Copies of this chain bind each other. A is one copy, B any other.
Amino acid sequence: MTDPLVAATATDQIRTPAAPVGAAARHRPLDLRSVRLHPAGPLGAMQERNAAATIAHCIEHLGPALDHFRRVLGESDAENPGFVADTDVYKTIEAAAWEIARTGTTAWDAWLDETIGLIARVQEPSGYLVTWVQADPAKERFADLEGAHEMYALGHLIQAAVALDRAAGRGDLLAIARAFADLVDREFGPGRKDGICGHPEIETALVELYRHTGERRYLDLAARMIDLRGRGLLKTGHLGAEYFQDHAPVREARSAVGHAVRQLYLNAGAADVYLETGERALLEAMHAQWDSVHERKMYLTGAFGARHQGEAFGDDYELPSDRAYAETCATIADVHFNWRMLLAGDRSAAGYAEAIERELHNALAAAVDATGTRFFYASPLHLRPDRLSEGHAPRERQSWYSCACCPPNLARLTAQLGSYVATVADGELALHLYADAEIDVPDSLGGGTLRVDTAYPADGRVRLRLTGSEGLDLALRVPSWSPTALLDGTATAPDDDGYLRLRLTAETTLSFDLAPRWTRAHHRADALRGSAAIERGPVVYCVEQVDLPADVALDDVLVDAGAPLDEHDGSPHLTFPAAVRPSAPGLYGPPRNPDAPRPVTVTAVPFAQWGNRGGDAMRVWLPAV
């Protein structure tokens, strides 16, 4: 049954990955095509590299996954490339779809024709479509909800399909996705079997499908998946219920626990359900989750997952730099979670936007190299010289992984970046991310074009020029690290919500304080005690062994967290004076006055750039006096 109210809205849907239609969304996103990031800035450059290299690289590496689709048809005897390989295909399609929305490219049309044709042939008449199960006669459909990732696969299929329909008006994949969604609805919908997927993801996708089709039952199914979680439906075995977020009902689970990607996709889905239902209890649970994730369990780089074991969140304040699992997909999932909380508008957008900015400029920028073809799956904040490479946590970026969830996930997120720059709320255009860009102002705000001229975050000046309009009410985020902003040279404090408001008629220049700074962690963060990090604007720095004299071991450097941090024109590097501690025998002993340390000048580089000169030692947090 189509909800007439929603369907009317749906036809006007903008090309963006989360397009709420419910009244609970105070902020409305902009069409991806109306925010054009210039390649001169770092976000625009990420998009260009993604379009020019990463998406093609993903397509090139999807061979085994696509062969596994063919195996279901008896056209290949390819080995199973893993239980989420189908979704690598879907995420790559989604990345291509957003690129089509952004640039109108036709470069991937033939590949899309072929791939979607193959997927269509593999889909069963029932709608079922998971090659991990279909290719193995021993496996039954929906018999292993914990491990088979069937609804997870459907979730990514839906997201790709909606993106492709929204972006290019291409509905063939959407028909496939809907047929599978309808099967899941018949099997697990209201009044049917109780069942949830071991890996959340379908929730946020079903809400999108509702938004896109106007079919209320997809929203109901998403809400049902949220409702059924935490009721012991999963056979959680040795992994434990927390791993699956099945230990407590979603509205009662206040702490982020277990597999970080699962928790954060679940949170994004719950936030999406709130955006459409306005259910306060769900929002309040998500506020608690947000606080748990960002106030007690987030790495400085905007990464998540303190434990390799279970790819999991640790305790509150358990944030070891060396053992950070910090999976790229977890940060991507948190961008989604933050964005949906921002759209809700129940709290100030500033915290959400600042988290997204931290994630984009650090964890996600570091997850890919300059060529766009090598990736981190796990992105620790400290690499010791003797650390061995481990499975998904190698010492250096890899071109692909046996479980390749991260590279195509990064590709789809990067293609969406324009969506996260600004929103419309309360008659204002709210600018959340600063990037060199051109924004078409919606007619509801007077139309015209807003030119954002900036080298941010290399430079703190942001010039805003409005053309084709008589005036625009702007809300401009002032980052928390820049206590005041200069507005045309005058120090101006933001409103309580962290946004500075003005009516722009022609041009104004905003300047933030980008002086590099020393950062400390909360006193309960044991792994970071006695250490300090360096930040400049939203950019986190690190020190690499390769920049130190040959006779200085990085782990012997002792910094003064009050030392001047020198900038060098035209370089993102910083230098500062520090000390080298003499080597000391013995692991434990009485407190002692060590020999005098000797001086050394240390160079720090943006975390995003580390590891591009080999996989030697690196630290974000530096032992400090």
Contact = CB atoms under 8 A, between A and B. Distances in A.
Interface of A: 238, 240, 242, 255, 257, 294-296, 298, 300, 307-309, 314-318, 320-323, 382, 384, 386-388, 390-391, 517-527, 529-533, 555-556, 558, 561-562, 581, 584-592, 594, 621, 623
Contact of A561 (B308, B525, B591): B591
Contacts of A525: 587
Contact of A315 (B294, B387, B589): B387
Q: Quick one: which of A518, A524, A558 has the most chain B CB within 10 A?
A: A524
Given A238-B391, A308-B309, A322-B526, A587 B294 contact: yes
Contacts of A533: 588
Given A240-B388, A318-B322, 9 more contacts: A295-B585, A308-B308, A309-B309, A318-B323, A318-B384, A519-B588, A522-B584, A524-B555, A561-B591
Contacts of A561: 591
Given A242-B388, A316-B386, A388-B257, A522 B321 contact: no
A482 to B, nearest CB: 12
A592 B523 CA distance: 11
A294 B320 CA distance: 22
Contacts of A529: 529-531, 623
- Give the dominant DSSP class at A's interface: loop
A523 B386 CA distance: 16
Q: Quick one: which of A526, A562, A584, A594 has the most chain B CB within 10 A?
A: A526
Q: Quick one: which of A382, A384, A525, A532 has the most chain B CB within 10 A?
A: A384
A146 to B, nearest CB: 17
A621 B445 CA distance: 58
A315 B388 CA distance: 8
B382 A591 contact: no
B318 A590 contact: no
A129 to B, nearest CB: 28
Contacts of A585: 295
11 contacts: A307-B308, A320-B526, A518-B591, A519-B588, A522-B584, A522-B586, A522-B587, A523-B558, A527-B527, A530-B530, A530-B531
B588 A521 contact: yes
Contacts of A255: 386
A590 B517 contact: yes
B587 A384 contact: no
Given A309-B308, A315-B387, A320-B323, A523 B556 contact: yes
A591 to B, nearest CB: 5
B521 A320 contact: no
A584 B530 CA distance: 17
Nearest to A320: B320
Contacts of A526: 320-322, 382, 527, 531, 621, 623
A112 to B, nearest CB: 34
A318 B555 CA distance: 12
Nearest to A382: B526
Contacts of A242: 388
A523 B581 contact: yes
A268 B309 CA distance: 28
Given A315-B387, A318-B384, A384-B318, A589 B530 contact: no
Nearest to A319: B587
Contacts of A519: 588-590
B587 A295 contact: yes
A257 B555 CA distance: 20
A408 to B, nearest CB: 22
A323 to B, nearest CB: 7
A301 B518 CA distance: 34
A317 B587 CA distance: 8
A562 to B, nearest CB: 7
A288 to B, nearest CB: 13
Contacts of A588: 300, 519-522, 533
Contacts of A522: 584, 586-588
A125 to B, nearest CB: 36
Contacts of A524: 555-556
A590 B481 CA distance: 9
Contacts of A382: 526
B315 A586 contact: no
A461 to B, nearest CB: 23
Nearest to A619: B526
A220 to B, nearest CB: 33
